[in-house]
Structure 1
Amino acid sequence: MKRIRARVLPVLLAAVVAGSVATSASGVPASAAHAEHAHEHPLIRAAVARPKQPPAPKLPVVNGPVMSTAALVQDVNAKSKVALRVLVVASSSADFGLPTWKSTLDRIGQPYDVILAKNTTLRAGQLVNADGTPKYSAVLLTDNALISEGTSAFDTAEWSVLWSYERTHGIRQVSLYTSYGTFPEDYCLRPGSEGPITTPAQATLTQAGAAFFDYLKASARIPITQSYAYRSRLQSGCSAQPLLTIGNDVLGVTSTTADGRERAALTFSSGEYQVHTDLLSYGLVRWATNGVFVGEQRHWLNVDIDDWFNHTAHLYPDGRLETDPGFRLSGVEASATHAQQNSLRDRFPLADEFTLNIPYNAGGFDPAAPSRCSATNTPDPLSSFSRCEANNFRWINHTLTHPTMDFLTYAESFSEIRDNLAPVREAGFVVPTEILKTPAYSGLGVYSPTPNGPLKDFGLTGSNPNLLRAAKDLGVKYLHGNMSFEGHQPPCFNCAITHPLEPAVSVVPDWPVNIGYQVTTPAEQTYLYNSLYGPDGQFPTHPRNLTYAEILALEAEVGLSHVLSGSVYSHTFHQGNAHHYAPGKSLIFDWTEEIVRQYSSFYQVPLKGPDWSRLAGYTKARAAHFAEIRTGPDVVWDRLTNIVTINADTTGTLFLTGASLVTVPSERYGADLISQASVRPGLPQILLAQPR
């Protein structure tokens, strides 16, 4: 077995490749110039598990309320208007909760400022503009006492400044991590028990919690793990409502102070990579801002099946690799894949929009094959079945013969892109001109500078200019990138990258998966995965070889983290993964169904599944949104008139939640109203707020 593994492993690196060796329509290898660079792509490797959080700090339990220091507080000018910006207050740059708040707000696209309490003396003037308008519509604390080195990083005067600001302007406050005790103020939490949670504990939503987190199912169980928790009781007669409980223990609360300030708090630590953070942090921000804020969050699921019509290498469970001819889907499996898609929608209504994207290679398509879901009297059943099912999938240009495009000439690039469209369009397929997925993401700056040498990420400036020029000339606006390449990772969440060498073209990355392009069954995937990540593998990660069920659970965990975070990017699979290894079963839908099943157990808002043109357009709008907020637009909500006014310094786009445009339809996503506003200097944009 050792001898076989040593022989096969160099080929097994292609498990994490987004393509195969280029072939012509007849199955003959492509030109030597193409084949020279058609080696495996070891940089395309998905995460094998979600990142683990460092141990959460223990907060001291301190009693004794802060004395009133009203005389020390400079009065602020109370106004009905408030700027739509958020204030994050952390004890220091090393604060455990700071990355959590920052990642949450960055995903949403909400502008924010950070105050490091240990290094800052908070003054009233820091919280208001020159005209007295409050700068911040919400205050987000990393923990209730801003503990640093055992004591609060704010003194009594600074706490009084913050509370005076909140009280005067009606600003809500959230504490991400809260111990019981009455210092520096009382959340009505009283001692129960405390300690680390290492085995997942299932928290439930109270009636108030179900209303607070109304995008979640009222029956949802919130899995809390890798956390330190203060299991609390509520003080009787105190103005507080529990949000989350485990048995009789309270783990989340809203409460109101005697002077009318509204607060929410969780009593357990929440790291940026944890499922419970994904589920709850958005709701905390939404509540703190009264549901009116800059940015938005939705949940998406898209899956690509690359290399349709092509043959790809086929790995067997004994390590044998077949490349001539390799594996190609049968026609019947095309219809069976459509049936799986329908079944998923029927069983999981939240996935009703789910539709597969199919990047195809028309070099393997037979235009003479009639359009019918039958293998009888057809020169190519896959072509016939695909024509019959064409309207049930979304088709994407993946080039004619699947060449590596790092060094193609302009003419070669042009013909590969152009000639992949005509035969299928004439057969009735709808294929967008503006979308191109290059084989193995080639031509976009990741290649070997020497034949068969190690690959290097040169960034997008290392892209093939011939490919870019040909793509632009043929009307391509968006190229698929890959999140495993640093050079393809956008600087903002859910954004596209304007290509530095060709601004008419943008790069939208995909998520890779660790389900190999050359595997078709659970046994094949298990052999491949363990050959890569087992104790004797090329990238030893696990202490023992895993079963298929364990591998699927890990892959679904990573994929689910993308979905829960709100990532719009598609996940890439390959045509061999759509093989029906048993009736109604394929590797693609094993993964997809597990993602959707878990999502549906948590949420009651739907999974969005836009086609690639709309997906790409959204990522470009998100990039414009982040470019706009970097210039500091003046976004102000008048809470008396419920008018939101945007005064921008540059022309661009802003997403807003909880406000609608007068002239442009807004999208209702669950209880949230989401608008995309076009802005430009000197022309204020007016929206109508719908606060929660």
Structure 2
Amino acid sequence: MKRTIRTALLTAGALIATLGVPATAAPAGASAPRIDLRVLIVSDGGPSTEAIAAELDTAGTPYTEIDLTRSDRPVIDAGYLADTVGGRDRAKFQAVVLPNDNPFPANSAEMAALVAYEKTYGIPQVDAYTYARPEAGLQYPVHGGYSGSVDGVRAEVTAAGRAGPFGYLDGPVPFEDNSPTVGESYAYLSTPVAGADFTPYVQAPIPGTTKRGSLVGEYRHDGRRELVVTFVYNRHQQQFRLLARGIVRWMTGGVHLGTSRNYFAVHVDDVFAADDRWNTTLNCTPGDVDCTDPNAVPDPIRMSPADVDHAVAWQRERGFTLDFAYNGAGSADHREDNNGADPLADRLLAQRNEFRWINHTYTHAFLGCEQDTTVVPWRCATNADGSTKWVSRFEVADEIAHNRVWGQLAGLPLSNDELVTGEHSGLRVLPQQPSDNPNLALALGDTGITWLASDNSREPQQRRVGPATTVPRYPMNVFYNAGRAAEQVDEYNWIYTSRAQGGSGICEDNPATTTCLPAPLDPATGYTGHIVPLERRIALGHVLANDPKPHFIHQSNLAEDRIAYPVLDGVLDAYATLFADNTPVVNPRMRDIGRELQRRAAWRAAVRDGRVTAYRVGDTVTVDGPDGVAVPATMPQGTTRAGTAFGEAYAGERSGWTTPVLTPLTLTLPASAPPSTAGAGGAAPATAPAPDTRVPEGVAEPVLPGTAD
């Protein structure tokens, strides 16, 4: 059993006090300054500052980015950083992110302005990727440290890191090593300079020694605080995804707009129905329009009652709920062919309350254009005048309503506003059907559908279809037509090997395909040795990216060899080793995912258009946004709104969405929250710029596994 962890985490303010860092409020008799809840990112075009910007953007945290490579960029001076509003001093940014500890020329007036600003208002600075050197509180790597690749290295969060900004992690921070031929990570490992006020938060072993070097640490000096990061990363890499939340928490003191969760939802399509099996001789799936051999006979894969029992036991053990997208005709047809018997449906209905259920249409019919399957690939049938023949409004509505009634009569606990059409049909499908079936939107209105599944590989953005809003789903590369591992490997080999190796040649025709194989996988070991780790890594990447979009597989993958479970277990097991108990996986249903994506889009538009004002004065946070737009925020434990606890507990903080308000939102921070000012005024001399830091190919060009992305 996973060990119990310490949940009473120190706040950032308490940690500052523990470490003896100056953190004083405004002088007696002076009014507290206003600190705007916005981050300043100074970028040199590198991947590390881009990664931090992407993290803020996904969470909904406002930031301003200055690109040092642009000649028309604004000049950073005292007026750019601070001013006075209503007689009160205002700091325009709550944190500063630099590409390294000093990206400016020697004796730069801009660096001097930043130093003075940080000291005056207690503004923290993140050095996104810097060389280990005394100016950053660390010894040069040549003095017993290390400069080089850290691909595959297992770093660890220190006790100070777990008690502070990285308290949501269990300890391990494994670095990716996705390719043996591509350098993916580079780091400078070093120990603090003697006498420096430096606290490592994340460390890794220094090769050839018994010491551990800092990868992330806090350096306090001259009335300033810097988070010193000495490894390079991009926004997709697991090591960054694990640490991103803590970087933001550190630089904002846990007080910022935006919110983040680790989501994982899995839809299982075609429940009650059957899925046709891949034919390893014909290299196609009999029953599909492109499997034209006249002797090809469909070979259906369908769950059994034992598979239902296994799914129930698995869910209970994992504390995770699957979403079953069902087709009622699958059971009706089975009973008709078997003298009224359907043991699978009987067992599913007996266990109906163990799962969440989604309407997947009654027969899984194609609901777009009428398909002309006399050619391969199929094309849309046309009328005499050349116009497209569409499946009618009545047929689309009947597929939805018939399945809903069947489910209601069977006692399924449905949410009637959710729908997954067969193959996401009705929506545009390139190249054959470049527009939606115009009857789809009408039928969705007829049947009260407000959340409609779409395929993320085709349409990653949410959009409106009549009264409904799409919910993009990630297709897992666990094939619908495989119930056994050997079938999955055979089809995988066919798709992703060259024609000379007996494959389809898709990789020769489309070099951008990222799952191409240098040689066919071993049928006996290829699934567990290659496909499972790859799919686990892809899915876990989505989980760690504050991405609520669901994944989808098929009922065939829960049958026979039950090939979906090694992937799902791999995701959940890896997650459990990485995160503390205060940061559980969030497992939402489809409509909740849709609402989350919808709220994010509205909030992002409001921030982008400059319609949001947010600031902190002392222990009060004020947010003023457009009417009707909910506000996402993350605050320390103990934060209240009108005397009531704000948000939900997650990752050692309180976070969530507020209901839209007509007046500015006011939050009261707890006494333990870090003060809004720290340190003494006055600028320190700017140091010399850091030397160039190496960016390996795998960071500049991310090594991303899998076509399902």
1:309–1:360 contact (8 Å) kept in structure 2: yes
Matched, 1:337 2:302: no
1:241–1:254 contact (8 Å) kept in structure 2: yes
Equivalent-residue separation in structure 2 for 1:179 and 1:667 (angstroms): 38
The one-letter code sitting in structure 2 at the alignment partner of 1:178 is T
The one-letter code sitting in structure 2 at the alignment partner of 1:242 is P
Q: Secondary structure at the match of 1:285?
A: helix
Q: Mark the CA change 1:360 to 1:253 in structure 2 (over 3 Å): closer, same or farther.
A: closer
Equivalent-residue separation in structure 2 for 1:221 and 1:580 (angstroms): 36
**Match for residue 77 of structure 2?**
123
The one-letter code sitting in structure 2 at the alignment partner of 1:80 is P
Equivalent-residue separation in structure 2 for 1:358 and 1:598 (angstroms): 24
**Match for residue 687 of structure 2?**
none
Residue in structure 2 matching 1:102, options 32, 48, 53: 53
Matched, 1:437 2:420: yes
Equivalent-residue separation in structure 2 for 1:362 and 1:355 (angstroms): 21
Q: Secondary structure at the match of 2:519?
A: coil
Q: Mark the CA change 1:155 to 1:577 in structure 2 (over 3 Å): closer, same or farther.
A: farther
TM-superposition CA deviations, 1:535-588 (whole Å, max 9, x none):
44332312112311211111111111101112111111011111142xxxx111
2:188–2:215 contact (8 Å) kept in structure 1: no
Residue in structure 2 matching 1:653, options 630, 647, 655: 630
1:231–1:251 contact (8 Å) kept in structure 2: yes
**Match for residue 656 of structure 2?**
675
Equivalent-residue separation in structure 2 for 1:125 and 1:111 (angstroms): 20
**Match for residue 365 of structure 1?**
331
The one-letter code sitting in structure 1 at the alignment partner of 2:137 is Y
* Matches for 1:373-452 after TM superposition, within 5 Å: 379-406=341-368, 407-449=390-432
The one-letter code sitting in structure 2 at the alignment partner of 1:603 is F
* Matches for 1:241-320 after TM superposition, within 5 Å: 241-247=199-205, 248-319=211-282
Residue in structure 2 matching 1:82, options 35, 56, 59: 35
Offset of 1:209 from its aligned partner?
A: 1.8
Q: Mark the CA change 1:233 to 1:190 in structure 2 (over 3 Å): closer, same or farther.
A: farther
* Matches for 1:434-583 after TM superposition, within 5 Å: 434-449=417-432, 458=434, 462-485=435-458, 488-490=459-461, 497-499=462-464, 502=466, 504-536=467-499, 537-538=503-504, 539-540=506-507, 541-546=516-521, 547-548=526-527, 549-581=529-561
TM-score of the two chains, using structure 1 as the length reference: 0.78
Residue in structure 1 matching 2:149, options 191, 197, 204: 197
- Corresponding pairs, count: 568
Q: Secondary structure at the match of 1:445?
A: coil
Equivalent-residue separation in structure 2 for 1:665 and 1:474 (angstroms): 37
Residue in structure 2 matching 1:187, options 126, 134, 137: 137
Q: Mark the CA change 1:155 to 1:532 in structure 2 (over 3 Å): closer, same or farther.
A: farther
Which 10-residue stretch deviates more, 665-674 or 119-128?
A: 119-128
1:396–1:432 contact (8 Å) kept in structure 2: yes
Residue in structure 2 matching 1:591, options 567, 570, 573: 567
Offset of 1:340 from its aligned partner?
A: 2.1
**Match for residue 301 of structure 2?**
327
Q: Secondary structure at the match of 1:178?
A: coil
2:35–2:91 contact (8 Å) kept in structure 1: yes
Equivalent-residue separation in structure 2 for 1:670 and 1:513 (angstroms): 28
Equivalent-residue separation in structure 1 for 2:496 and 2:165 (angstroms): 38
**Match for residue 4 of structure 1?**
none
Which 10-residue stretch deviates more, 124-133 or 598-607?
A: 124-133
**Match for residue 44 of structure 1?**
none
The one-letter code sitting in structure 2 at the alignment partner of 1:474 is T
TM-superposition CA deviations, 1:58-93 (whole Å, max 9, x none):
xxxxxxxxxxxxxxxxxxx995321111111112xx
TM-score of the two chains, using structure 2 as the length reference: 0.76
2:49–2:97 contact (8 Å) kept in structure 1: no
Equivalent-residue separation in structure 1 for 2:286 and 2:646 (angstroms): 53
**Match for residue 623 of structure 1?**
601
**Match for residue 195 of structure 2?**
237
TM-superposition CA deviations, 1:197-242 (whole Å, max 9, x none):
1641111121112223434444324326511211112112111111
2:606–2:612 contact (8 Å) kept in structure 1: no
The one-letter code sitting in structure 2 at the alignment partner of 1:543 is P
Equivalent-residue separation in structure 2 for 1:525 and 1:516 (angstroms): 7
Equivalent-residue separation in structure 2 for 1:328 and 1:256 (angstroms): 60
Equivalent-residue separation in structure 1 for 2:594 and 2:192 (angstroms): 48
Matched, 1:613 2:566: no
Q: Secondary structure at the match of 2:227?
A: strand
* Regions of 4+ moved over 6 Å: none
Residue in structure 2 matching 1:212, options 161, 164, 181: 164
Equivalent-residue separation in structure 1 for 2:648 and 2:262 (angstroms): 14
Q: Mark the CA change 1:399 to 1:174 in structure 2 (over 3 Å): closer, same or farther.
A: same
Equivalent-residue separation in structure 1 for 2:228 and 2:82 (angstroms): 25
Offset of 1:167 from its aligned partner?
A: 0.9
Equivalent-residue separation in structure 2 for 1:154 and 1:551 (angstroms): 51
1:513–1:571 contact (8 Å) kept in structure 2: yes
1:243–1:250 contact (8 Å) kept in structure 2: no
Q: Mark the CA change 1:236 to 1:664 in structure 2 (over 3 Å): closer, same or farther.
A: closer
The one-letter code sitting in structure 2 at the alignment partner of 1:97 is S
Offset of 1:137 from its aligned partner?
A: 0.8
Q: Mark the CA change 1:153 to 1:278 in structure 2 (over 3 Å): closer, same or farther.
A: farther
Residue in structure 2 matching 1:139, options 89, 93, 96: 96
TM-superposition CA deviations, 1:165-211 (whole Å, max 9, x none):
111111111112111224xx443444344433164111112111222
1:193–1:230 contact (8 Å) kept in structure 2: yes
1:435–1:477 contact (8 Å) kept in structure 2: yes
Q: Secondary structure at the match of 1:306?
A: strand
> Larger relative contact order (C-alpha < 8 A, sep ≥ 6)?
2
2:158–2:171 contact (8 Å) kept in structure 1: no
Q: Mark the CA change 1:316 to 1:127 in structure 2 (over 3 Å): closer, same or farther.
A: same
Q: Mark the CA change 1:215 to 1:477 in structure 2 (over 3 Å): closer, same or farther.
A: farther
Q: Secondary structure at the match of 1:443?
A: coil
The one-letter code sitting in structure 1 at the alignment partner of 2:199 is Q
Gaps of 5+ in 1: 1-76, 147-151, 346-351, 370-375, 450-455, 491-496
The one-letter code sitting in structure 2 at the alignment partner of 1:144 is D
Q: Mark the CA change 1:84 to 1:169 in structure 2 (over 3 Å): closer, same or farther.
A: same
**Match for residue 12 of structure 2?**
none
Q: Secondary structure at the match of 1:143?
A: coil
Q: Mark the CA change 1:661 to 1:534 in structure 2 (over 3 Å): closer, same or farther.
A: farther
Equivalent-residue separation in structure 1 for 2:490 and 2:169 (angstroms): 38
